[in-house]
Structure 1
Amino acid sequence: MIAIVFLLGLLAVTIFAAATGAQALPTAEILMLVGIFVLFFGSGVYIAAVLGILGVLVGFLFSDRPWWAFMGQTLWGPSSNFVLVAVPLFLLMGEILLRAGLSDRLYRALNVWLNRMPGGLLHTNIVSCAVFSAISGSSVATAATMGSVALPYFQDTKYSQRMVLGSLAAGGALGNLIPPGITFIIYGLITETSVGALYIAAIIPSLLVTGLFIMVILAHGLTHPMEKPAKLPLGVKLRALIDLVPTLLLILLVLGSIYGGFATPTEAAALGVVGAAVFAALEGKLTVRMLNASAEATARNTALLGLIIFGAYLLNYILTLINVPQALAGMISGLPIPPWAIMLCIIALYVALGTFMEGFSMIITTVPVVFPIVTALGYDPIWFGVIVTMLVEIAQISPPDGTVMYVLQGMRSRPGPITDVFAGVMPFLAVYLLAVALLMIFPSLALWLPRIMS
């Protein structure tokens, strides 16, 4: 409810500014769009259906072309885009890895090296999620995979359940920020920004966020000390590194081919699927039943995401037709307000939307309108892509509707309220907000590497 009030208040301010300024804005059309959106979304209608209905209805009212003509042309573009093929391929790779058992080997190997640090197994949660994110591309897949592996380790221990769940939720959310995150592909598709450049730009911010998470856990471990496990011989630790080899080779195959310029993100995703299948075969897990289950899960998730993308593209075509993004960009860039203040308002809007909208829905429905404003203010599209992706991650661990939190809540062996997860993510949510603030103050955190590697 707070988020809806915030959104409507921001809309009222925008319309008032347009009415008192020189830039013409289609106020009646915007009011109608927002009214229909709030009605359907508040009624629990699936977001893809809401977007599709809005697009067809407004197109029927304001377009001078037959609705079937603009629908066909508009939907053909994203459906035939080669970049979008990377989405189901990365999802398929994650599904195969989930069933191949590589994640368990990864967690065990990292635990051997990290369990004596203050915070113990909580560090293993973060680092294993970060490493798995580099071959997953999805926050939900990372949280589900590493949660299924990690939670049994905490049974009959004295670890705070809130910190256990919070660290897994925060670590799982890294799945979108750490390349090859799917959010970057969607953003690049919508804004026509290089996905490879976005992946390069995300390296330092993802390391920053992971490092800050480790500092949070260190602080927790120092203030809530626990008995350390027995010290293992160096030989045991070195042998544990063998379990990291399959994961590291797969990361090298996917990200190395992208950063080395040998493959596009779509081609790298295809290589990743082949690599995941090879490792699953070596583990003796590659069966027809396993491939069928992986393909079914991939098709289901791709269809859900595809419907949202097609509905958003249809609506975005109509918004452009009635001049909404252009008018907003011209109006806001001409206001006597510093660009950083406008960016803070945009970030606040995303944080508010994240409390009741799923991350992908949020980026697909808002970026086409917000992106022209941001570029008109002089901000770099690659930098903004990293900011938006971090805000999507914040949405995925923001009460009361964070997707990743409910995934972990459903995996708990001990009964407990969802508020345990809500409380556990709060320190990590603060870290994400701090990281966004640091990117605002120091844009070179995201832009330095792309400039060097270009």
Structure 2
Amino acid sequence: MELTAALVLIGLMVLLLAGGLWIGLSLMAIGILGMLGFTTRAPGDGMAVAIWSHGSSWTLTALPLFLWMGEILFRTRLSQEMFKGLSPWLERLPGRLLHTNVIGCTLFAAVSGSSAATCATIGKIAMPELSRRGYPESMVLGTLAGAGTLGLLIPPSIIMIVYGVAADVSISKLFIGGVLPGILLASLFMGWVVIWSLMNRDKIPPADLKTSFMQKLAASRNLIPVVLLIAGVLGSIYSGIATATEAAAIGVIGSLIIAAAQKSLTRESFIAGLMGATRLYCMIALILAGSAFLTLAMGYIGLPRHLAEWIGTLNLTPGMLLFALAIFFVLLGCFLDGISIIVLTMAVLLPTIQAAGIDPLWFGVFVIVVVEMAQITPPVGFNLFVLQALSGKQISTIACYALPYFLLMVLALILLYVFPGLVTWLPGQMMG
């Protein structure tokens, strides 16, 4: 009966999504139909309790605050100032200013929480500048596509909050657990830029000017705002002074101060940032509400338990299970955005993951890296859309430029599997 229920509900879900119904409403509809068709329980009370208990979670308060922080910073000159501060330090490194894309995305990811915002913000300033200086288009777009995904992994990450709420995992631990994998990925991207540049020396333009050490230090003052904001947000979490929600409030206050200091905080920009964050949060909140009710409905039907039992009969090793799930998530990422992937699958997969003895904290970072891969996978790779809008290039062309970074993410997944301490060591040290 459970197999029949699963096939029927999956078919209905595909029909609803293909028909253009909002994801959150589709999830609720499937939950209602599942309970009416395959259980004796009425869906009304369960829906009300599930949505209210999920939506009133204090943990979830961090989400709109981090979204608002990102919207405020999107309207400042923060990315331009990062470019000015980083450029002089990279003139002697193979690849030179191509590294500003990776480091700029890494730094902006630590204050935006969004992959698309990171890619768009750094891309807007870096693409014209690098093109003017003669850097190859393939590497400019490729580094932006790959490094832009770090907005999902480097805290504070919007999708980490969504996973933490869906999987009942500490968001603070997820944030801390994403630091070393984020640095690992950024290092792999920069390593590839170095290797490619050494193999193609003639395609990298020479440094414009030789700057002295004191000139580099003077240029570094442009990095002060972003460094202070990162220290305020992440430092308050890592030191145990603030929860993720309280750190988000610190981030909003800090971003407002930065915007005011740069004279980009006007009545119009304030309202635009607030409304942008509100619209995005309402979309995410509706998806989470639908997911909460669908999780309850699937529990009543017994689908997660029976799926876990079925997978248990396959005798897959944890490694084979993770390999299968990675392919599954990348395929889903061809058609869905990252947040939808998380909320659609966690209810069913988490019992299976726990039964296989896989740490939900480690699995959260694993899933986010896989979802990062999906961000640069056509046809629905969000970073590809962003770069298409900025450059006017075809999605397929940008996807080809991004392929080396996709493969580097595969390498990162292998390293995380072989060395799980890359995720779990830092949270264990800092939070016990």
TM-score range for the pair, normalised by the shorter chain length: over 0.9
Residue 107 (structure 1) aligned with residue 83 (structure 2): yes
Corresponding residue for 1:183? Answer: 159
Paired position in structure 2 for 1:125: 101
Q: Structure 1: where are the runs of 5+ without partners?
A: 1-24
Cα contact 1:143–1:173 (8 A) shared by 2: yes
The residue correspondences of 1:233-252 to structure 2 (distance < 5 A) are 233-252=212-231
Q: For the Cα contact (< 8 Å) 1:116–1:228, is it kept in 2?
A: no
The aligned residue for residue 424 of structure 2 is: 447
Aligned-residue RMSD, C-alpha: 1.5
For residues 386-426 of structure 1, what are the alpha-carbon distances to aligned partners after superposition, in whole Å with 9 as ceiling and x for unaligned?
101111111111122101110121122xx432222111110
Question: Which residue of structure 1 lines up, in the alignment, with residue 44 of structure 2?
Answer: 68
Q: Does 1:227 align with 2:227?
A: no
Pick one of 392, 400, 414 that aligns with 1:437.
Answer: 414
Q: Partner of 2:12 in structure 1?
A: 36
Q: Is residue 329–residue 373 contact of structure 1 (8 Å, CA) maintained in 2? A: yes
Whichever residue aligns with residue 170 of structure 1, its letter is: G
1:256-275 aligned at under 5 Å gives the runs: 256-275=235-254
SS of equivalent to 1:411: helix
Aligned residues of 1:161 and 1:420 also touching (Cα < 8 A): no
Taking the aligned partners of 1:161 and 1:49, their CA distance within structure 2 comes to 41
Q: 1:307 maps to what in 2? A: 286
The 8 Å contact of residues 180 and 199 in structure 1, kept in 2 or not, is answered as yes
1:79 offset after TM fit, Å? 1.1
Q: CA separation in 1, counterparts of 2:110 and 2:132? A: 31
- Give the match for residue 401 of structure 2: 424
Counterpart of 2:326 (choices 343, 347, 355) is 347
Distance 1:155 1:438 in 2: 34
Q: Give CA-to-partner distance per residue, 1:285-343, whole Å, 9 cap, x none.
A: 21111100101110111111111111111211111111111121223234333222122
Tell whether the 8 Å contact from 1:55 to 1:315 is kept in structure 2 after alignment: yes
Q: Give the Cα separation in 2 of the matches to 1:184 and 1:83.
A: 12
SS of residue in 2 equivalent to 1:45: coil
> Which of 187, 193, 208 is the matching residue for 1:217?
193
Residue 234 of structure 2 is matched in structure 1 by: 255
Deviation at 1:212, TM superposition (A): 0.2
Task: For 2:180 and 2:290, locate their aligned partners in 1 and report how far apart those are by CA, in whole Å.
Answer: 33
What's the offset of the Cα at 1:52? 2.1
- Aligned counterparts of 1:317 and 1:212: Cα–Cα separation in 2: 41
1:93 aligned onto 2:78: no
Aligned length: 428
Preserved contact between residue 133 and residue 175 of structure 1 (Cα < 8 Å): yes
| Separation in 2, partners of 1:64, 1:288 | 54
Match of 1:292? 271
- The alpha-carbon deviation at position 172 of structure 1 amounts to 1.2
Aligned to 1:12: none
1:4-23 Cα offsets, whole Å, 9 max, x none, are xxxxxxxxxxxxxxxxxxxx
Change (3 A) 1:321 1:425: same
* Alignment correspondent of 1:370: 349
Aligned counterparts, 1:167-206, within 5 A: 167-206=143-182
**C-alpha separation in 1, matches of 2:75 and 2:155:** 21
The alignment-based identity, stated in percent, is 39
2:311 aligns with: 332
Q: What amino acid is the match of 1:307?
A: L
Deviations 1:352-389 (A, max 9, x none): 11111111100110111111111101111111011011
1:105-148 CA-partner distances (Å, limit 9, x unpaired): 01111112114322122100000000111111111111111111
Among 16, 21, 27, the alignment partner of 1:45 is: 21
Deviates more, 1:239-248 or 1:326-335: 326-335
Residue ranges of structure 2 left out of the alignment (5+ in a row)? none
> For the Cα contact (< 8 Å) 1:115–1:123, is it kept in 2?
no
Deviations 1:142-193 (A, max 9, x none): 1111111212212334322222112112111100100111111111111111
Query: For the residues of structure 2 that align with 1:418 and 1:348, how far apart are their CA atoms?
Result: 21
Q: CA deviation at 1:59?
A: 2.4
Amino acid at match of 1:289: E
Verify the 8 A CA contact 2:180 2:423 in the aligned structure 1: yes
Q: CA deviation at 1:245?
A: 0.7
Alignment match of 1:320 (pick from 285, 299, 306)? 299
Contact 2:373–2:406 (CA under 8 A) maintained in structure 1: yes
CA positional deviation for 1:63: 4.3
Instruction: Give the letter for the 1:424 counterpart.
Output: Y
Structure 2 counterpart of 1:418, which letter? I
